[in-house]
Amino acid sequence: MEYRYLGRSGVQVSALCLGAMSLGSMGNTDVNECTEIVHRALDAGINMIDTADVYSRGQSEEIVGAAIAGRRDDVVLATKFYNPMGRDRNRRGASRRWIVQACEDSLRRLNVDHIDLYQIHRLDENTDLDETLSTLSDLVRSGKVRMIGSSTFPAEAVVEAQWVAERRGHVRLHTEQPPYSIFVRGAERDVFPTAQRHGMGTLVWSPLNGGWLTGKYRAGADPEADSRFARVPQGSWRTDSPGAQRKLDALDKLEKVAVDAGTDLIGLSIAFAKAHPAVSSVIIGPRTVGQLESQLLAADLVLDEDILDRIDEIVSPGTTIARGDLAFEPRAVRHKRLRRR
């Protein structure tokens, strides 16, 4: 397993990070197998685990916490807050009121005394970044959190957060966590260069584009019974949408590239995400031990320049080929009343 520095934090993490979104009711309800996934990942050299309070409404954190008991010091433990954790409208977001409570809740579920990396799951456009960073800085200074980060922030919000931290004396963001895959390359345009300029580590999620890059999905064929699209119907699985058609057209070409690279689509996709110099670690999210094993095969896979060039010919650098995969759209674009007031 390769290890890389997490930006300029001084912390080294494995090139693959275990994502725990599928551990629990959102994915695998077999706690024993979920625990086996965590143990197998650690035994394979993965030293970073990423979860969130919202994953299976806290169950993922509970599973991870129990699984790493006795091995806590070997794990760079990351979790996130922001998404709703109940009907109360204040049990969400990035306000001081909620962050303090969310952190305490995560510490309890994980059964640990500190979180190594505490991340804002999404940009809260209703809360001043000064409020958010001030609170996170207090958590760092209290010892409950070691580092802080963002997830799926646009580049301009990352820059603003760095400015606010510098001007107000807050702890700065150590990491950003954007989506990144062969089909979702928007981060190459702005987020990656921005993170590099500010010495931030980058943890990328969904290297398989939600299952599209596993090779399971084909035009005119129903999703396999155990696939994500079959278990959790999604609007993105519509073969008649322009984005889906572009993905289906690219898949046949990418499979040929994978064969020439001596791997399969899964290996090609994870190795591609790992190849970008801005990437500190690629978050894999296996639901079963079998899926974990298939993804671990990419841990030591390095793609030749000609293979990377062929991928660039199929999906141009900086391109996200389906609108539904856009990481972030500002309120001014999402809401008509803000465009036409």
CA dist 156 and 182 (Å) reads: 23
3: part of which helix (H) or strand (E)?
strand 3-5
| Average pLDDT for runs of 10 along the chain of length 341 | 97 98 97 98 98 98 97 97 96 98 98 98 96 98 98 97 98 98 97 98 97 80 58 57 91 97 98 98 98 96 98 97 86 75 60
55 is catalytic: yes
Q: Which domains does the chain have, with CATH numbers?
A: 3-339 (3.20.20.100)
- Measured CA to CA in angstroms, residue 207 lies from 19, 46, 149, 186, 202 at distances of 11, 16, 19, 13, 13
Residue 234: the pLDDT is 53
Residue 341: the pLDDT is 60
- pLDDT tens digit string along 264-318? 999 999 999 999 999 999 999 999 999 999 999 999 999 999 999 999 999 999 9
Residue 335: the pLDDT is 75
Residue 223: the pLDDT is 60
Residue 333: the pLDDT is 80
Sign for the pseudo-dihedral over CA of 119, 73, 298, 226: negative
Crossing angle for the helix pair 59-67 and 96-110, nearest 10 degrees? 40
CA dist 151 and 82 (Å) reads: 10
Residue type, 78: A
Place of tokens 């922030």: 153
- From 55, 82, 118, 180, active-site residue: 55
Decide: 164 and 340 in contact? Cβ < 8 Å.
no
CB-neighbour burial class of residue 45 (10 A; exposed 0-12, middle 13-18, buried 19+): middle
CA dist 270 and 261 (Å) reads: 13
Sign for the pseudo-dihedral over CA of 234, 59, 21, 53: positive
Q: Is the pTM of this model over 0.75?
A: yes
Print burial letters for 69-89: b (CB count within 10 Å at least 16), e (below 16): eeeeeebbbbbbbbeebeeee
